[in-house]
């Protein structure tokens, strides 16, 4: 009941007019994408077991989108659609895996970084990329970013103590982390809680590392590079895509901090500490723009990459709410499936003294970012599926264009599924042979009662959208594809030498694989 009350309180339109609209035609843009962060992992939205004061500050001084969606229910396609501005019926990356394994963007794909670079921006990426392995044309340094640092391979991004990171296409060795036992870290998260070791002060003693206090946490290294990029480019328009690993599992943190003595299980302590780690770094980014005198010309957008995933790290069934943190929310499903709960995310925009403060229930989706960023930069956007939400940022909601519909297709658990949100309606089917399930989210936020039989006209329109929105992919499973079809695609990829095999975290020392 508490969650429902919090949600319905949010959907009231509270926005007030801002004192002055975006005055600079090319403001700095910093997009912070959290990884597997749950909707109610933020204390500004009701989390009461731990706090996120820096993100709360942005929430309290910025614009919150209470009806925001990811463009996909899992990591890689969410990131691909964000960069391309296309939904899952049109985008290059549609699942975490294709017939040729971890797939990538191509040379002819146009990213938001390429568009902003064309507009005169300095473009930077730090963190988890996941849409182009080293050696492919899909790496960030080949997709419009002047500077790129972090994980190109999303499987390697599972470790916070890697043997190397990538910088502008080259490996940067981290010998301080050699020996880190990633297998034990996985086992700790999946079942055997207690395998991660912390001293009496709550500091991590990473398994397998000879000198544990010299170990380098990748989030800290990535964050340092982000601060450097902002500082070095403060005098010209900049775009920073800050795709943090946090709080994606496996659960581990350099310091349990204030949670070390909590009467919780270790993984709950770690999750709270990971969220605190993220919140601290968000605060650093905002503080730096204030110190550099560029805060009022810097737009922050903060969001997450997919719906509820937290339970997968706690040994429970998928989509089951956490009994302690209660961070799932009322929505049906979660990560890996195109139910409302698989794509429902928190999102806010912040620019002190410029973006209006309050809440809007206008429906936005991460693939709107291409259109919005191009609008802010004063450059015409390429063909895309998004709608610029700059009118909302300017405090002129009456000028904001609405989506006719939002479209999703696929998910690791339901690769042949399709889903559509159209106004208050949400329709979804797992396979083309299945009947459409239909819910009215205004009256049934948890998608509890299928009312398809009572609304045949709505059902027919959504089925039309599903047909018109999807263009078949050569490598991903299309709604009509059978297991036999997918095997043929995989065999074709192998014969053509097109398999892109991801590297398991810390499976090798630098120079051995990539």
Q: What is the pLDDT of residues 342-374, one digit of tens each?
A: 999 999 999 988 999 999 999 999 999 999 999
pLDDT over 50 at 512, yes or no: no
DSSP-assigned letter for residue 313:
G
**C-beta separation of 6 from 330 below 8 A:** no
| Domains delineated in the chain | 2-11+26-399 (3.40.720.10), 406-483 (3.30.1120.10)
The conformational region for residue 361 under phi > 0 = left, psi -120 to 50 = alpha, else beta, is: alpha
- Radius of gyration of the chain from Cα atoms? 22
Token pair 């599903």 in the structure block, residue: 466
- Rounded Cα distance between 312 and 322, Å, is 10
Cis peptide before 247 (omega within 30 of 0): yes
- Rounded Cα distance between 57 and 172, Å, is 35
Provide the pLDDT for residue 407.
Answer: 98
* Closest of 399, 401, 400, 392 to residue 299, by C-alpha: 392
Provide the pLDDT for residue 250.
Answer: 94
Query: Following DSSP, what letter does each residue of 111-157 receive, concatenated?
Result: -HHHHHHHTT-EEEEEEE--S--TTSTTSGGGTT-SEEEEESSTTGG
Task: Tell me the pTM.
Answer: 0.94
Provide the pLDDT for residue 313.
Answer: 82
The β-bridge partners of 408 are 419
> Which tens digit of pLDDT belongs to each residue from 143-194?
999 999 999 999 999 999 999 999 999 999 999 999 999 999 999 998 888 9
pLDDT over 50 at 5, yes or no: no
Distance from the Cα of residue 2 to its chain's centroid: 26
DSSP-assigned letter for residue 198:
B
Token pair 């996909």 in the structure block, residue: 72
Mean pLDDT of 15-19: 40
Provide the pLDDT for residue 307.
Answer: 94
Q: How many CB atoms lie under 10 A from the CB of residue 405? A: 18
């Amino acid at each position: 009941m508490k969650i429902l009350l919090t949600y319905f309180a949010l959907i009231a339109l509270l926005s007030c007019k801002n004192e002055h609209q975006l005055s600079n035609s090319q403001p700095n843009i910093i997009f912070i994408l959290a990884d597997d962060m749950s909707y109610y992992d933020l204390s500004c939205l009701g989390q009461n077991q731990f706090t996120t004061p820096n993100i709360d500050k942005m929430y309290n001084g910025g614009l919150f989108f209470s009806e925001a969606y990811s463009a996909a229910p899992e990591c890689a396609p969410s990131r691909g659609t964000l960069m391309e501005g296309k939904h899952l019926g049109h985008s290059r990356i549609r699942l975490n895996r294709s017939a040729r394994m971890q797939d990538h963007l191509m040379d002819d794909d146009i990213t938001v970084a390429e568009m902003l670079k064309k507009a005169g921006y300095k473009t930077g990426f730090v963190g988890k990329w996941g849409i182009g392995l080293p050696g492919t044309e899909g790496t960030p340094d080949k997709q419009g970013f002047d500077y790129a640092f972090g994980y190109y391979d999303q499987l390697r991004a599972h470790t916070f103590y890697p043997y190397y990171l990538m910088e502008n296409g080259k490996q940067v060795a981290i010998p301080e982390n050699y020996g880190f036992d990633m297998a034990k870290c996985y086992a700790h998260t999946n079942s055997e809680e207690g395998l991660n070791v912390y001293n009496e002060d709550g500091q991590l003693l990473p398994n397998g590392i000879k000198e544990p206090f010299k170990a380098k946490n990748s989030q800290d290294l990535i964050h340092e590079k982000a601060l450097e990029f902002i500082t070095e480019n403060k005098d010209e328009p900049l775009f920073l895509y800050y795709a943090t690993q946090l709080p994606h599992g496996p659960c581990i943190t350099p310091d349990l901090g204030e949670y070390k003595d909590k009467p919780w299980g270790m993984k709950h302590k770690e999750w709270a500490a990971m969220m605190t780690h993220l919140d601290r770094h968000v605060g650093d980014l905002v503080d730096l723009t204030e110190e550099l005198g560029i805060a009022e010309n810097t737009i922050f957008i903060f969001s997450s990459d997919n719906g509820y995933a937290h339970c997968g790290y706690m040994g429970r069934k998928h989509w089951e709410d956490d009994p302690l943190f209660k961070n799932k929310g009322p929505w049906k499903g979660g990560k890996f499936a195109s139910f409302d709960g698989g794509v429902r995310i928190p999102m806010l925009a912040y620019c002190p003294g410029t973006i209006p403060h309050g809440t809007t229930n206008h429906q936005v989706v991460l693939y709107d970012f291409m259109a919005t960023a191009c609008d802010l930069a004063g450059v015409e956007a390429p063909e895309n599926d998004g709608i610029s939400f700059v009118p909302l940022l300017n405090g002129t909601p009456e000028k904001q264009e609405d989506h006719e519909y939002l479209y999703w297709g696929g998910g690791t658990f339901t690769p042949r599924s399709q889903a559509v949100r159209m106004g208050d309606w949400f329709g979804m089917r797992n396979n083309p042979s299945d009947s459409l399930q239909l819910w009215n989210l205004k009256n049934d936020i948890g998608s509890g009662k299928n009312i398809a039989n009572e609304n045949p006209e709505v059902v027919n329109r959504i089925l039309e959208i599903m047909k018109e929105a999807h263009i078949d992919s050569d490598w991903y499973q299309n709604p009509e594809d059978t297991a036999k079809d997918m095997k043929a695609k995989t065999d074709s990829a192998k014969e053509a030498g097109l398999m892109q095999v991801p590297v398991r975290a810390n499976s090798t020392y630098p120079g051995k694989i990539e």
